[in-house]
Structure 1
Amino acid sequence: MAGDSGAVDSTYGGEAGPDQAPARVGRRGLTIRLRMTITYGAAVFLTGAVLVYTAYSLFRWRLSHMNSDVVLAPGCSVNGHVVQSKYCMAARDQNILSQIDKPLIFVLLISAVVAVLIGYFLAGRFLAPINKITRTARRVASRPDRALHARIDMEGPQDDELVNLAQTFDGMLDRLDHAFEGQRRFVGNASHELRTPLAINRTLLEVTLMDPDASEQTRQLCHTLLATNERSERMIEGLLLLARADNEPTNREDIDLAEVAYRSVTQCEMEAAERHVAIRTSLQPAVVSGDGILIERIAMNLIQNALRHNIGAGGWVDVLSYDRSNDVPGHGLLVVANTGPEVPPYAVETLFEPFKRGSQPSGASPARDPKDKGVGLGLSIVRSVVRAHGGRVAAEPRPGGGLIVRVWLPVRV
């Protein structure tokens, strides 16, 4: 049963067909390489032409006004006539160059700025298809179960590099879409095909047990087969839930971790009493966004796992929730800790793998605990559900034995 929250340690918070995409016929036109070459070549040519023309114009203008305002060197003018000596000619040219060098530098700077702006504009035009591919890829990556229908559908020349890249990407999405659709059909078919024979077996065994003429040996065999059948049903339910948990929830709602944890604790009180394990709670309201059924499955699996891997009489399970997590901002935190056998640090990560089970306490018999109804999928389901919700899950050995599992889920925005 739930214990006093004051006894809880507050440190816990701190993939045409499925094999090939239909080929698209490209329209006639220039490839991206030719367009970039021609465009950038034209830009360089125009910029250089403007610069050369400006320099030519300045020189021509300067020479046409040479006699009016050119300052000659001393001794280069006799009775108003310019002396045509090498020294005087060089001095005149130097004087002309000194008057047009600043306008040329100014025109050069303007040409550089214009060239950069033209290059930036052209680069944006040429990179627009790549940005479209990137946006589609990000959308599919963030919601693979809902955005696999998205396609780039880029049109252009058949040999265009970017068009080929976009068509290849669309072909990959076609394959992934078929693969996900096949997985969904498999889950639906398996749900029916695997449950039906087990349900029939259970009914036949229960009818046999109701037969007053059945021998004791037959009854004992039926009880054994019922337990095996029940375990198979739980395993199938767990595998189907694991397959569902890998997909991002389609219908998100506001879920209070405290309420979810309280309901899970209430459902586990009878099992805790049978095992003589105390459940202690410290639950703060923490509203997160997600699928209510799957989030409740997280809390239920963690608490059941903590109960079934406890040390027995005198053990305890702590269940805590926090509205904010200091180490992962923007997330609510659910913590489940328990006493139990010591878990080596190197073995913690393997606990989240399907069908992996914790080790027995020191000196305990390797035989299965008759009260343990688990099939080794609990923590695997927890990790898949948490990842599908965009959260995190981590576990660490608890000093003195047992495990501390922390689950971070995105809070409501």
Structure 2
Amino acid sequence: MWRFRLPLRVRLTAVYGALFLVAGLVMLGLTWALVQQRLIDDAAVVNASVCCSSPWEPSPTLPAGDRLTYEYTVQIMGAARDQALGALLTQGSIAVVVVGALAAAAGWVVAGRMLRPLSAITATAARIAAAPEGRRHERLRLDGPRDDVTELADTFDDMLDRLDAAFDAQRRFVANASHELRTPIAVERALVEVAAARPGASDDVRALARELLDVNADQHRLIDGLLLLARSERELAERRFVDLADLAEHATSPAGGVRGDPGSAPGLSRDVAPDAAPEFALELGEAPTAGDPVLLAHLVRNLVENAIRHNLDAGGWVRVATGTDATGRARLEVSNSGPVVAEDAVAGLVEPFRRLGGGVPDRGRTAGAGLGLSIVRAIAEAHGGALHLAARRGGGLVATVTLPREEYGFALDGSAERGDAEG
């Protein structure tokens, strides 16, 4: 159960103020008791000087005139004593409250200065956590005397270094392994093509060769996907002005090779027959941003390919829209018809090798490598953007990518670097 807790600075200030107030009240009580005792002792001295039988009682042998004078003096002294004690309590309480407030204000300032390193640690940790994967190289590097806070910051930096090294090693392994696998796959493809092209090859051999070439193409796309994923998780080497509308128009054209038309790119031409290709609806408005044009082209292409692959057998549609949102950020939205997707399954679709199962009808097409949306998310985050997926009530998905806006090389929202100036 969530419980509200005051910030540490407020609690420290409250503790400082409460301790000072308690100490002030105790001091005021002791002062009041000492002053009262002192006044009683002074009264006893006065009584002794006039030979009184007891404190505040005149001697029976004292003349009548002196007796009246003594009683009047006793009344004056009693009134002065009560007034002094009352003033001590009243003015002392006011002084304690005022000085307590000043002490609380001083405690607020002191607590702020003492907690400033912790605030810096929290802010830096938040920036590191919000940074895209592969760009989390910032460290605390807290300066100052060696104390518990600096030891905490150094320990946190060591942990980040270890995590960053582990992530880099993982990305290097994926990239190196993918590069190494390309050669045997290319050799396999060449051997199959040579065997199929031999004059004496039978029809069964040629049919088997076509199947092996299809499998080889799937493996080649998987390797390319792993390389692209590893590349997109690194920091961008350059940023140039890009309009998402141009990329979307090219990706959805027959020349772009994603519609399943004859002559399309390998993989989708055999996935979707020309008569079963979904209908495209384009709403392309200017969506200027800055980044790596090749990676952004892959982002758009992967979204469109995913919308085509996970669609209906016939009568399906794909809608691609570009523009800017209310904050001026570039926006790309790709939606499609298709099987109903459970809400709890949407979040897992961006994980590597995670495929949508169960609800996709088998049309004899490849299920894909399960890297398309993972690559889209990695590319979007590398450009300072984000990918959002939502299930359509009637079936299919709505994939929305938002990227920082760029106007001909000059950033408008401060979140993108100057593209042409650096490219």
- The match for 1:166 is 153
Query: Deviation at 1:189?
Result: 1.4
- The match for 1:391 is 386
- Listed as ranges, the matches of 1:84-99 within 5 Å are 86-97=74-85
Q: Give CA deviations for 1:291-334 in whole Å, capped at 9, x if unaligned.
A: 44333323211211222233345433211123115xxx554432
- Listed as ranges, the matches of 1:2-401 within 5 Å are 86-97=74-85, 104-105=92-93, 107-143=95-131, 145-148=134-137, 150-152=139-141, 156=145, 160-246=147-233, 249=236, 251-266=238-253, 267-268=256-257, 271-272=260-261, 274=274, 275-324=276-325, 329=327, 331-343=329-341, 345=343, 347-353=345-351, 354-357=353-356, 359=358, 366=362, 368-369=364-365, 372=366, 374-388=368-382, 389-399=384-394, 401=395
Distance in 1 separating the partners of 2:350 and 2:135 = 26
SS of corresponding position for 1:281: strand
Query: Deviation at 1:232?
Result: 0.6
Distance in 1 separating the partners of 2:315 and 2:278 = 6
Q: Give CA deviations for 1:157-192 in whole Å, capped at 9, x if unaligned.
A: 5xx432442232122122112212212321331232
What TM-score do you get using the length of structure 1 for normalisation?
0.68
Query: Deviation at 1:105?
Result: 4.9
- Percentage of identical aligned residues: 37
Task: Verify the 8 A CA contact 1:289 1:410 in the aligned structure 2.
Answer: yes
Instruction: Pick closer, same or farther for the CA change 1:128–1:348 going to 2, 3 Å.
Output: closer
Task: Verify the 8 A CA contact 1:154 1:166 in the aligned structure 2.
Answer: no
Query: Deviation at 1:386?
Result: 3.7
Instruction: Pick closer, same or farther for the CA change 1:357–1:102 going to 2, 3 Å.
Output: closer
Task: Verify the 8 A CA contact 2:174 2:226 in the aligned structure 1.
Answer: no
Instruction: Pick closer, same or farther for the CA change 1:398–1:251 going to 2, 3 Å.
Output: farther
Task: Verify the 8 A CA contact 1:209 1:222 in the aligned structure 2.
Answer: yes
Distance in 2 separating the partners of 1:203 and 1:231 = 15
Task: Verify the 8 A CA contact 1:198 1:229 in the aligned structure 2.
Answer: yes
Task: Verify the 8 A CA contact 2:322 2:332 in the aligned structure 1.
Answer: yes
Counting matched residue pairs gives 348
SS of corresponding position for 1:404: strand
Distance in 2 separating the partners of 1:250 and 1:175 = 24
Q: Give CA deviations for 1:191-216 in whole Å, capped at 9, x if unaligned.
A: 32121221222233334444445454
SS of corresponding position for 1:203: helix
Q: Which AA in structure 1 matches 2:338?
A: G
Distance in 2 separating the partners of 1:358 and 1:408 = 27
Q: Give 5+ residue unaligned stretches, structure 1.
A: 1-35, 64-76
Task: Verify the 8 A CA contact 2:240 2:291 in the aligned structure 1.
Answer: yes
Instruction: Pick closer, same or farther for the CA change 1:251–1:105 going to 2, 3 Å.
Output: farther
Give 1 or 2 for the bigger CA radius of gyration: 2
Q: Looking at both structures, which has the greater relative contact order when contacts are Cα pairs under 8 Å and sequence separation is at least 6?
A: 1
SS of corresponding position for 1:271: coil
Instruction: Pick closer, same or farther for the CA change 1:305–1:122 going to 2, 3 Å.
Output: same
Distance in 2 separating the partners of 1:349 and 1:128 = 37
Q: Give CA deviations for 1:3-39 in whole Å, capped at 9, x if unaligned.
A: xxxxxxxxxxxxxxxxxxxxxxxxxxxxxxxxx9xxx
Q: Give 5+ residue unaligned stretches, structure 2.
A: 1-11, 40-64, 263-273, 406-411, 414-423
Q: Which AA in structure 1 matches 2:213?
A: L
Distance in 2 separating the partners of 1:116 and 1:178 = 46
Task: Verify the 8 A CA contact 1:393 1:407 in the aligned structure 2.
Answer: yes
Q: Which AA in structure 2 matches 1:394?
A: L
Task: Verify the 8 A CA contact 2:243 2:286 in the aligned structure 1.
Answer: yes
